[in-house]
């Protein structure tokens, strides 16, 4: 069933009403379906043992002024073959209703609520139609991603109250945390229900920092929006910038030179390194183990200062551009990178030995915040969190981009799904990133680092892009508008996929465990709250 043709033919035989929109190319198939058949075909993709489709992305498009309709698009990743299958349907004229697939695919829950808030389209049969992005003070009828809603519209306020799900019973207490937190953490509200000490329920209330990023993309030309993509989540500058660039390069028919692709992989691994180092230290710090936190902070700072010496930016801003990268590295700089990583790895290996042999730390991390493989799979969890729960997935290997087709990646997985497993994934990936950087240094070819666009896509053309950022899978869908503008840019940070799953990982733990569990997930509020 991993063969593209046999899979597509089986789908068409099982659902005769679907139409294949394009000839399958490589690992991608696109089907047009009526909205009535959506629940059946999505359930088939998700539950068939030979397919095991994970809902990777669900988005809507206001097709006006091209035509009077809304488009709905469901992107599945088939686990055995790593193929993409895209299902598309249209709501014509005044039709605003579509069938919810959340009852049998939990990963669709936030996507469908987001579509309702931002487009005013109603997922019929959805088990929870409370507002998600539009907090209760937003005026009724405000749907900012509709084309007749101006990007600079100033909204009024209305009175409203968020209704939380409650567990009733004697001895059940609610403990609200946030949205304002101590320190520099971003805004997020967590409401715990407890009876005694164990957590019975956690409900998230996020989207306090909604910035209208996807609406802002629509005010840009295709070639001008890289700086905006880099600021979706500031700690993932390279990942988001690269994902956006790849989508636009597909629209512009650009073939990035090999040296440019190698440099993109190099910078992406440097970004992974400083973030993983910071997270390992922060996990230890949340157990009051200050020594590893201090040393990891020092090593993270070494990488950030290396980034600054190489590019002028600690967070590697401005590196990616449409067609390649904005600056080259000399042989001396490449050698400096390897020498610096050699020093960091020597220190890190010594610290890693201390961490992994500390019985008190291991006792604190083991069995804390367990996310089972079944729950992770049901909710479409990605990245470090998914690999710690046994999901063997990594875009660098499964759908190679940049130079990863020439740089084989060893994917690290653990099956316990606890805080310790999530830290161990990071520990192993730090060594793997250092190995990849050394291999890049050895293999990087000579030649140009970028090419300039010569093609302009037609309005309505679109492209998908995937990048394995340090948190996990980053997805971009970019649709061209008229005269080289952006008609629609859908962004999916891995945090949007993983935040709902933390509500399951905390069950049975105690509230003092939550900061540790939350840090082991290490999710972005900004990347989630677009």
Does residue 23 have a pLDDT over 60? no
Contact 283, 519 (CB under 8 A): yes
Q: Prior bond to 385 cis, omega within 30? A: no
Identify the pLDDT of residue 25.
53
Identify the pLDDT of residue 155.
86
Strand extents, DSSP E, 383-452: none
pLDDT tens readout for residues 350-360: 999 999 999 99
C-alpha–C-alpha distance, residues 381 and 514, integer Å: 19
* CA distances from residue 504 to 24, 85, 185, 205, 470 in whole angstroms, order as listed: 37, 28, 22, 15, 23
C-alpha–C-alpha distance, residues 317 and 298, integer Å: 22
Contact 268, 432 (CB under 8 A): no
18-22 LR contacts (CB < 8 Å, sep 24+): 18/87, 21/88
Per-residue pLDDT band at 168 (split at 50, 70, 90): confident
C-alpha–C-alpha distance, residues 314 and 385, integer Å: 26
Query: What pTM was estimated for this model as a whole?
Result: 0.95
The lowest-confidence range among 2-11, 122-131, 222-231, 324-333 is: 2-11
The lowest-confidence range among 13-27, 360-374, 443-457 is: 13-27
C-alpha–C-alpha distance, residues 297 and 294, integer Å: 5
Does residue 3 have a pLDDT over 60? no
Two tokens at 361?
Answer: 């730390």
Q: Prior bond to 65 cis, omega within 30? A: yes
Identify the three-state secondary structure at position 73: strand
Over residues 190-207, mean pLDDT:
94
Identify the pLDDT of residue 447.
96
Most confident of 31-35, 185-189, 369-373: 369-373
pLDDT tens readout for residues 270-303: 999 999 999 999 999 999 999 999 999 999 999 9
Over residues 338-353, mean pLDDT:
96
How much of the chain exceeds pLDDT 90, in percent? 83
Does residue 15 have a pLDDT over 50? yes
* Complete DSSP assignment for 201-228: EEEEE--TT---HHHHHTTSBGGG-HHH
In sequence order, the β-bridge partners of residue 28 are 25, 84
Does residue 14 have a pLDDT over 90? no
pLDDT tens readout for residues 217-251: 999 999 999 999 999 999 999 999 999 999 999 99
Does residue 21 have a pLDDT over 60? yes
How much of the chain exceeds pLDDT 70, in percent? 98
pLDDT tens readout for residues 300-325: 999 999 999 999 999 999 999 999 99
Over residues 467-485, mean pLDDT:
96
Identify the pLDDT of residue 22.
67
Domains located in the chain, CATH noted: 4-124 (3.30.460.80), 213-528 (1.10.645.10)
C-alpha–C-alpha distance, residues 477 and 464, integer Å: 5
Over residues 399-411, mean pLDDT:
96
Over residues 494-512, mean pLDDT:
96
* Complete DSSP assignment for 263-309: HHHHHHHHHHHHHHHHHHHHHHHTTT-HHHHHHHHHHHHHHHHHHHH
Identify the pLDDT of residue 1.
39
C-alpha–C-alpha distance, residues 341 and 310, integer Å: 14
DSSP 8-state assignment for residue 71: E
Identify the pLDDT of residue 2.
47
Per-residue pLDDT band at 149 (split at 50, 70, 90): very high
C-alpha–C-alpha distance, residues 422 and 520, integer Å: 6
Q: What is the mean pLDDT of the chain?
A: 93
């Amino acid at each position: 069933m991993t063969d593209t043709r046999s899979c597509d033919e089986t789908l068409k035989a099982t659902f005769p009403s679907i139409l294949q929109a394009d000839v399958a190319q490589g690992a991608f198939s696109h089907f047009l379906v009526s909205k009535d058949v959506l629940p059946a075909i999505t359930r088939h993709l998700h539950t068939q043992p030979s397919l095991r489709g994970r809902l990777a992305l669900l988005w809507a498009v206001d097709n006006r002024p091209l035509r009077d309709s809304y488009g709905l698009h469901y992107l599945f990743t088939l686990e055995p073959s790593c193929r993409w299958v895209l299902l598309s349907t249209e709501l014509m004229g005044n039709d605003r209703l579509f069938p919810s697939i959340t009852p049998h695919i939990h990963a669709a829950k936030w996507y469908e609520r987001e579509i309702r808030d931002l487009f005013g389209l109603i997922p019929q049969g959805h088990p929870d139609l409370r507002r998600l992005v539009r907090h209760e003070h937003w005026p009724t009828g405000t749907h900012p991603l509709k084309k007749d809603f101006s990007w600079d519209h100033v909204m009024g306020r209305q009175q409203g109250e968020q209704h939380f799900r409650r567990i009733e019973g004697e001895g059940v207490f609610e403990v609200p945390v946030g949205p304002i937190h101590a320190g520099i953490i971003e805004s997020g509200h967590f409401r715990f229900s407890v009876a005694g000490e164990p957590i019975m329920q956690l409900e998230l209330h996020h989207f306090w920092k909604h910035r209208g990023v996807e609406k802002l993309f629509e005010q840009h030309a295709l070639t001008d929006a890289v700086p905006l993509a880099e600021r979706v989540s500031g700690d993932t500058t390279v990942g988001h910038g690269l994902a956006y660039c790849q989508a636009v390069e597909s629209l512009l028919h650009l073939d990035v030179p090999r040296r440019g692709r190698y440099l993109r992989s190099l910078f992406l691994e440097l970004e992974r390194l400083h973030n993983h180092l910071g997270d390992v230290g922060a996990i230890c710090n949340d157990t009051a183990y200050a020594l590893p936190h201090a040393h990891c902070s020092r090593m993270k700072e070494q990488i950030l200062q290396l980034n600054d010496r190489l590019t002028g930016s600690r967070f590697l801003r401005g590196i990616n551009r449409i067609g390649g990268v904005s600056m080259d590295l000399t042989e001396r700089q490449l050698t400096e990178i390897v020498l610096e990583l050699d020093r960091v790895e020597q220190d890190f290996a010594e610290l890693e030995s201390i961490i992994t042999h500390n019985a008190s730390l291991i006792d604190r991390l083991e069995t804390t915040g367990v996310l089972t493989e079944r729950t992770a799979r049901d909710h479409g969890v990605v990245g470090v969190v998914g690999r710690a729960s046994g999901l063997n997935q990594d875009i660098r290997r499964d759908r190679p981009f940049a130079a990863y087709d020439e740089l084989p990646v060893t994917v690290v997985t653990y099956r316990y799904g606890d805080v310790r497993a999530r830290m161990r994934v990071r520990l192993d990936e730090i060594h793997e990133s250092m190995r990849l950087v050394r291999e890049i240094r050895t293999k990087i070819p000579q030649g140009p680092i970028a090419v300039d666009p010569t093609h302009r896509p037609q309005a309505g053309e679109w492209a998908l892009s995937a990048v394995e950022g340090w948190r996990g899978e980053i997805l971009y869908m970019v649709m061209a508008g008229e005269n080289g503008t952006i008609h629609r840019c859908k962004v999916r940070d891995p945090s949007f996929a993983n935040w709902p799953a933390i509500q399951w990982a905390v069950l049975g733990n105690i509230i003092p465990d939550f900061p540790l569990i939350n840090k082991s997930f290490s999710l972005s509020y900004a990347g989630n709250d677009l």
